[in-house]
Structure 1
């Protein structure tokens, strides 16, 4: 099994380098040495959900400091590296840990889906050798770069069905018994998918800058309006007490000085109403600034 993964990793890296040598230089950093943690660690089950909507389009939303898709790649590296540190500090006999990545809707490219399946990794006492563990971030770095490059090249953005993922898949895909279940969502904070546009009074399955404006949430009275008119996301669950959620990449429309507050309010209310055990919501800061925040969230025990 290990030899097969190492071969696949090598092939992915070769292909990735042919695709774009320069972009990896923007997010690649020296692998950090493993830190000392308690060896009596809870089993981890980490899921990563990608928002591949047009928020990652460098032409539509350019950022001279670092493109948003490159920030995502940096966050993913920190997530995978945290998982590695966790494993390297556990007693081998107690290792029973998972990490996986999801895109909703799934890409139509079957070859790309095969690569995504490679990111569904399970470690037990039988395969958790150091040289295999430390390939986790290598595999995640190379394959996620291919995913983002493919989405940008395709240039056909239909949105990301994050709301639908919580409604239909989060319990089955992201929650395992006797594990600490963490879902990391990489998104700008807006929800939209062409096949998930529901409204129940003032609750919706979507949120865009245009919706924020139409709800008149662009004044200093935004909070009063939300609470008085009961604006927010439609809650799809109320039993996610075994799930922790880390939302990364919030990127509000700069035309509204209160846009970030509105996005945070929507997400906090939604996650709270679903009884998520613990959550944090962060803006699209540079990966170097987010690295400690990500590791602190994942490695607390």
Structure 2
């Protein structure tokens, strides 16, 4: 199964969890939001237009069965269009996850008196052509080539990471009000320890930024991931 199609199904599972959450609430209690973010923002205006169609704010003033059905239908169809447009565009510059957390996550993803959940779709690596910051052995990026360069591809990887302080540079602090679900980790099969290294990078990063709650999941078939995604969103 193409990995972008897995992402599409993961997004669908997230939207279904949001839909179920709204169904359980009384109308007078509704004040819920869901949307999609990209970093960097796509230059393709068609992608931007579709992403706008995935921005929903459901309140007691606009809640209706029609709106809930629109949310469900939009998230079932629109994300695949975004991926197909991006593939057709064929101008991959990377995804600047680190910069998004640094400059946008507090403004876009955290509000008082809300339960704030951020779902990150990633293969586990972070790369953007314009973001290559290094501070000692900590970086804003990670690729399979970097893991080999840092000599984290042997059974001594854990000891080396700890003693040499390898990891992501903390982007911000005080993310106690944010829950993060990372989906789609897809380690390079050439290194038996690749997945362990990736997980350590992400978990250390989240711990250093004091993320309130997080889970990091390896890529799997959407049918296997559906319950995991919905349980994370359902449970607190």
Which of the five TM-score ranges fits, normalised by the shorter chain?
over 0.9
Cα distance in 2 for residues equivalent to 1:155 and 1:258: 31
1:134 to 58, 69, 87: 69
> SS at 1:225's partner residue?
helix
Cα distance in 1 for residues equivalent to 2:50 and 2:218: 28
Aligned to 1:8: none
Cα distance in 1 for residues equivalent to 2:97 and 2:36: 13
Say whether residues 1:250 and 2:185 are aligned partners.
yes
1:238 to 173, 179, 184: 173
Counterpart mapping for 1:201-280 below 5 A: 201-280=136-215
Give how far 1:137 is off: 2.4
Aligned to 1:156: 91
CA-to-partner distance for each residue in 1:219-256, whole Å, 9 max, x for gaps? 00100000000000000111101000000000000000
Cα distance in 2 for residues equivalent to 1:236 and 1:227: 19
Give how far 1:148 is off: 0.2
Misfit runs of 4+, over 3 Å: none
Aligned to 1:168: 103
Q: Which runs of 5+ in 1 are unaligned?
A: 1-65
Say whether residues 1:103 and 2:38 are aligned partners.
yes
TM-score (norm 2): 0.98
Aligned to 2:231: 296
Contact 1:174 1:183 in 2 (8 A): yes
Give how far 1:111 is off: 2.7
Please provide the CA RMSD for this pair: 0.8
Contact 1:218 1:256 in 2 (8 A): yes
CA-to-partner distance for each residue in 1:183-202, whole Å, 9 max, x for gaps? 00000000010111100000
Contact 1:101 1:120 in 2 (8 A): yes
Cα distance in 1 for residues equivalent to 2:82 and 2:47: 7
Contact 1:88 1:130 in 2 (8 A): no
Give how far 1:135 is off: 2.2
Contact 1:237 1:274 in 2 (8 A): yes
Length, aligned pairs only: 236
Give how far 1:119 is off: 1.1
Say whether residues 1:72 and 2:7 are aligned partners.
yes
Cα distance in 2 for residues equivalent to 1:71 and 1:112: 19
Aligned to 1:7: none
Give how far 1:134 is off: 2.4
1:89 to 8, 21, 24: 24
Give how far 1:112 is off: 2.0
Give how far 1:153 is off: 1.1
Cα distance in 2 for residues equivalent to 1:111 and 1:140: 16
Cα distance in 1 for residues equivalent to 2:131 and 2:73: 34
